[in-house]
Amino acid sequence: MISVGAAAPARGTLAGKPPTATPTTSGPTPTPTSSGGAANVTITNSLIGQTATSIGAVEACTRFNIAELLDLGVKNYRVYADLARFEGVDDDGMYGSPTIAQIKANPNIIPWAMWDTQFDRTDAYFFEPGCAPLGTSNKSILTQLKANGIRPILGMRPIDNKGNPAWATSMNPPTTQADWNEWWEYVFGLVYTINVRYNLDINDWEVHNEPDNTGQGWGGTLADYIVFTQQTHDAIKYVYDTYLPGKTFRLYAPVSTHNNTWIDTTLQQNDAIVDVIDWHRYGPTVDDATSIHNKIVTYNTDGVLEALHLSEWGTYRGYSGDGTGYGTWMLTFSQPASKIDYSSIFSMYDWGTCCPGIVSATGTKTPTYYALRLVIRGTQGAKDIYQINTSLSPAMLAAKDPATGKLYYTITNTAMGAQNASVTLDVSAHFTTGTATFYQDDGVTFFDAQTGTASLVNGRVSFTVPKNTIMQVVVP
């Protein structure tokens, strides 16, 4: 769950709590003009890539509210699907039984009533001390996510970060045939229950969580983890091949604490079975993402270039700043050279008393929530990215939704010592007339607020981006 990483990019202190709904207070009025001394920003018609495919969040034990996830705009939700959560006691009470062959011959040898009890219990986070029951079940959480177009990504561990469940400690790592029987059964049972018995159509599976960090439960070596990944893949693949014809799944590994040799070795030895390279970074991600892309090319033995999943980022120390720094980081996820296909911020809600999330246990939204919502709107869902010609230095991105035709220009004027930036935006390669809508977030006065509209004049419009602000222009 938690990695040691760089400090949060918070700037300044929070000037009061953000509103619970987006404010409609008017901000700087954009004025259409031809130039007016502003720096020119021209969005060309040269297509240079696509934005992130799926931006999401990591679950947390104090809250689950599907309306908040939809408001934020996330498209994935990372869930801990550990043995302690779904098989806290050995389901049949006989360690090492049934065998893999027996399960293949008759899956009903598994006592499914035990599994249903775990999925249906309304204290979904019972395994986390200090978290009050939410009154909802794991099955309900997964069902709501899928029904609302949010992709669950399920990570599986035999032993969690608290050393549970006690009955399974000998399979950490699995070494005997009895150990492998139990782990194979668990993976099979989880995938089979979710997709065959419950028909939830969940297809994203993570192998462990930070196995390179002994504090997160893995008791084996990197070599052990490579074999563990292979066996986990085998159990998942058997379910799909046998019971889900035509369906495909994604296997995520190594879910490491940072960009390290666990990624290199996974690519060298498991390239053919791993679909997504998964890691954590609590700090700027450009260098990591660029390096991992290069590793994927270097160790490409299967002819497939794997996607990237940054499955933990942000901070576990508390979201106390104005949030614009995190919004700036997220914008880099869609830059072509450092693209991150999937990302999940840690965490959506408070994780007990350990780690404050971007939304508190009571539903109070931090400034980070609003900064991310603004950036997500312009980068979520593999939008087309167009080349920008400008002399301005602030981070910016131009993306067009191929489904709606809307063009999103997002600029983050958040560098330390930043000054107000005057911009003349030229979108004539895409639109010559129409209305531009402006959104602003500074984490103090404006929280992803719509601050005005302006008409294009020959495809151009001028406006000012205040310092320490993220602004988004949406056309038409």
Q: Please compute the mean of the pLDDT values over residues 287-303 and round it to a whole number.
A: 97
Q: 67 Cβ partners below 8 Å, 6+ apart?
A: none
Within the chain, how many helices (H) and strands (E) appear?
11, 17
Contact assessment for residue 244 and residue 197, using Cβ atoms and an 8 Å cutoff: no
336-345 tens-digit pLDDT: 999 999 999 9
Domain boundaries, the chain: 39-49+384-475, 54-379
- pLDDT tens digits, residue range 351-379? 998 999 999 999 999 999 999 999 999 99
pLDDT tens digits, residue range 262-275?
999 999 999 999 99
For residue 214, the cross-strand partners are none
Percent of the chain with pLDDT over 90: 88
pTM over 0.75: yes
pLDDT value at 33 more than 50: no
249: Cα separation from own chain's centroid? 17
Beta bridge partners of 254: 278
Residue 21 has pLDDT above 70, yes or no: no
**What is the distance between the alpha carbons of residues 219 and 173, in angstroms, rounded to a whole number?**
6
Kind of pairing between the strands at 460-465 and 421-426: antiparallel
- Give the ranges where 273-391 is alpha helix by DSSP (H): 286-298, 324-332, 367-379
Question: Rounded distance, CA 161 to CA 184, Å?
Answer: 21
pLDDT beyond 50 at 80: yes
Q: What is the DSSP string of 345-359?
A: EB-SB-BTTTB--SB
Strand 435-441 with 54-58, pairing: unpaired
Q: 132-159 b/e with 16+ CB inside 10 Å = b?
A: eebebbbbbbbebbbeeebbbbbbbbbb
Asked whether the predicted pLDDT for residue 324 surpasses 70, the reply is yes
- Say which residues have a Cβ less than 8 Å from residue 169's Cβ, sequence separation at least 6: 159, 163
What pLDDT is attached to residue 255?
Answer: 98
Report residue 361 as tokens. 């246990």
Q: What is the pLDDT of residue 415?
A: 73
Report the pLDDT value the prediction gives residue 105, as an integer from 0 to 100. 98
What architecture is domain 39-49+384-475?
A: Sandwich (2.60)
Split at pLDDT 50, 70, 90, the class of 28 is: very low
Q: Which two tokens stand for residue 51?
A: 């934005």
CA-based torsion, 212, 218, 223, 225: positive or negative: negative
- Is the sign of the CA dihedral 258, 3, 328, 252 positive or negative? positive
Q: Are residues 441 and 470 in contact, defined by beta-carbon separation less than 8 angstroms?
A: yes
Across the chain, mean pLDDT equals 92
**Using an 8 Å Cβ cutoff, are 422 and 459 in contact?**
no
What's the pLDDT at 14?
A: 27
pLDDT tens for residues 142-178? Answer: 999 999 999 999 999 999 999 999 999 999 999 999 9
Residue 348: pLDDT over 50: yes
Mean pLDDT in residue range 43-47:
98
| Confidence tier at 394 by pLDDT (50, 70, 90) | confident
Q: Give me the pLDDT at residue 24, please.
A: 31
Q: What is the CATH architecture of 54-379?
A: Alpha-Beta Barrel (3.20)
Residue of 367, 408, 361, 360 lying closest to 384 (CA atoms): 408
Residue 8: the pLDDT is: 35
